[in-house]
A and B are shown apart, each in its own frame.
Chain A
Amino acid sequence: MMRLELVKRPQRSMLFSALSPFIAFGLTIIAGAILFALLGVNPLTAFEIYFIEPISQVWQLHELAIKAAPLILIAVGLSVCYKANIWNIGAEGQFILGGIFGSIIPVLFPGFEGPLVLPLMLLFGMVGGAFYAAIPALLKTRFGTNEILTSLMLVYVAQLFLDWLVRGPWRDPQGHGFPQTIQFNDSAVLPELMPDAGRANWGFVFALVAAVLIWVLMSRLLKGFEVRVLGSSPRAGRFAGFGLSRMVFFAFLLSGALAGLAGISEVSGAIGQLQPVISPGYGFTAIIVAFLGRLNPLGIVAAGLVLALTYLGGEAVQSALGISDKVARVFQGMLLFFVLGCDTLIHYRIRLVGMALAKGAAKLDAAPKLKEAR
């Protein structure tokens, strides 16, 4: 019988800090190969269809950017929360509220056109997401309510609210009874970056800009320092005069606004109208993106592209091999598991120790270990 034992490193390992996402990805590939083999598919064929074919042509890269944009936008916001040890896991709901608020103009005032429409929509989207994120922040600061549970519960409420809107008051009267709003007019649609090459829209640019801005915030500005101090040691932060309540609001409003921006970008760019479901779980997948990117905005951009590929690959194996596209969720879940596990290597060395059979054996065992400790 063997047992794992963790030995604290004197300082964090820079090597494993850089390597851990790659090790995690490698382990995911191995586990994925086993999974495909169990499903009766040759893993090599499956991997080619899953990871290579979906990005072998230019228009497909555009699809990748469309999927990656919301993931990156949401995840950079969440990274600030998680660095501050604040657990916003309701980004999915904030994404939906962003989509709803942003759609107020094109749905209720379809006659309103011009260059002002889009900026206003994006602004409304951010306000919607921030407003929805403010609820758990307020409950946490005012009453000390656990933000994990409240932010998550609000996701279900947001999904039902959107469902009601598109089936009820906002339904397109000429839509043959389909539960959807009217198609947005041209000035309310987020333009494509290179219409000749593919469908990718400005949402991807927003994501890159947001990542750079958050990187500057976290590594160059006092506010970023405040986030890190309050996250690693709230007591030290209090002595430094940093307010925890203000930080809770800051982190929630920022991540909510970014999730809201992602929501309205998705609705106005990729979809073009509101539907009962506007997200394939971006808000939850973004949590994985944030951790895979090591809570670093630039790492998150890379992680966002990887996770976007898991979505495309899931669709590809479904159509080519007839495997459920839920395989994408499985890949995403495994990836997060392995990342978290590998992160242990940054702070600890892992040793396999034979279970001591008797107390005497343990004592005998202790002598060489003492030597090693010196």
Chain B
Amino acid sequence: MDITVNILLTIATAATPLLIAAIGELVVERSGVLNLGVEGMMIMGAVGGFGAGYLTGSPWIGLLAAIAMGAVFSLLFAVMTLSLATNQVATGLSLTLLGLGLSGMMGTSFVGQPGERLPNLYIPVLTDIPVVGRLLFGQDPIFYISIALTAAVMWFLFKTRTGLTLRSIGDSHTSAHALGIKVIRYRYLAVIFGGACAGLAGGHLSLVYTPQWVENMTAGRGWIALALVVFASWRPWRVLAGAYIFGAVWIGQLHAQAFGIPVPSQLLSSLPYLATVVVLVLISRNKRLTMMNTPASLGQPFVPDR
């Protein structure tokens, strides 16, 4: 029983960064912007979070720094694609490349240093309940943030007027503009929200998952988060499900390596990436589902006329 609980806990820990980054990107894409820089914003959040936690000794300051780092870094993308109407695919790629380089440079002195870890929640009595206690009341704080964030985004997108406006911009920025909606302003806010989420996801990696700084420690998670949004056909609760499936794959392959299953460890390590490809193929086969949910103006630059 204890083993099962432990495995479930590790799956949640692996799924949380994917979930947060994907939820952020979902809001960005719902507004009609495709930000391929998730990996870059995430790694900046990871290095910023680790650095601030390490220098101040407080993982909570690290957490805030990670969020701020992701948000500030995403602003670069926002200025380029929204104010200068650059190609979103190329700009997102360059954000990722810049983030990987910049984080490597900033983190040189952090390599090999012990980091600060965010403490797990502990509520006397409740956390001590057998089995469900630790699952419900004994996880790291970012886990709870991720669940609350998913619920909040669901509510915001589908139950509020502002959410409806955001979705309408994603479906047709020209119509939205004609109705007097400030398309660019909405998109700025969406992109910065996505950046803050990606930063938080990176912070989870360097403050909870493995409290240390390793170059390229995101290992493609930002890209998997992007794939999750497609997989979820732009629906928050499906992102949640997808993130936990991928968390399970990630943890499953680690456990398989630890048990010494007679399969090359490299093959096991490549499973999350292969699974991403397979899942993308399965979902894109269903043309109607994708067509119906894809924000219609996704990735197209918009220059308001006068």
Contacts and interface: CB of A to CB of B under 8 A. Distances in A.
The answer to whether A binds B is yes
A329 B80 contact: no
A4 B89 contact: no
Contacts of B285: 143-144
A87 interface: yes
A368 B274 CA distance: 59
Nearest to B227: A149
A284 B97 contact: yes
A87 B277 contact: no
B85 A337 contact: no
Contact of A336 (B90, B220, B266, B273): B90
Interface string A144-163: 11101110111011001101
Interface string A1-33: 000101010000000000000000000000000
Contacts of B178: none
A164 interface: yes
B272 to A, nearest CB: 8
Interface stretch (B100-108, B163-171, B234-242): B100-108
A210 B290 CA distance: 39
B256 to A, nearest CB: 15
Interface string B69-105: 0000000100010011111011101110111111011
A339 to B, nearest CB: 9
B143 interface: no
Interface in B95-154: 95, 97-102, 104-105, 108
Interface residues of B, number: 46
Contact of B281 (A143, A330, A348, A350): A143
B76 to A, nearest CB: 7
B264 interface: yes
Contact of A340 (B90, B108, B230, B269): B90
B270 interface: yes
Given A144-B284, A145-B280, A326 B93 contact: no
Interface in A79-101: 82, 87, 89
Contacts of B250: none
A344 interface: yes
A347 B232 CA distance: 36
- Chain A: interface size category: 35 or more
A150 B277 contact: yes
B303 A8 contact: yes
B269 to A, nearest CB: 5
A329 B90 contact: no
A270 interface: no
Nearest to A153: B273
A286 B108 CA distance: 25
B273 A333 contact: no
B86 A341 contact: yes
A341 B77 CA distance: 10
Interface string B204-235: 00000000000000011001001100100000
A374 B196 CA distance: 44
Contacts of A255: none
Contacts of A152: 220, 223
Contacts of A369: 306
A332 B95 CA distance: 11
B101 A139 contact: no
Contacts of B274: 153, 157
A160 to B, nearest CB: 4
Given A153-B276, A163-B266, A340-B91, A4 B84 contact: yes
Nearest to A343: B86
A229 to B, nearest CB: 18
28 contacts: A6-B85, A87-B89, A139-B281, A144-B284, A145-B280, A145-B281, A149-B223, A149-B226, A150-B277, A153-B227, A154-B277, A156-B270, A157-B274, A168-B264, A287-B90, A287-B97, A323-B105, A326-B104, A326-B108, A329-B97, A333-B97, A336-B94, A336-B98, A337-B91, A337-B94, A337-B95, A340-B80, A340-B91
Listed from nearest, the 5 A-B pairs whose CB atoms lie closest are A329-B101, A333-B98, A326-B104, A164-B266, A336-B94
Given A153-B220, A337-B80, A341-B80, 10 more contacts: A8-B303, A148-B89, A149-B226, A149-B280, A287-B93, A287-B97, A288-B94, A324-B105, A332-B97, A348-B85
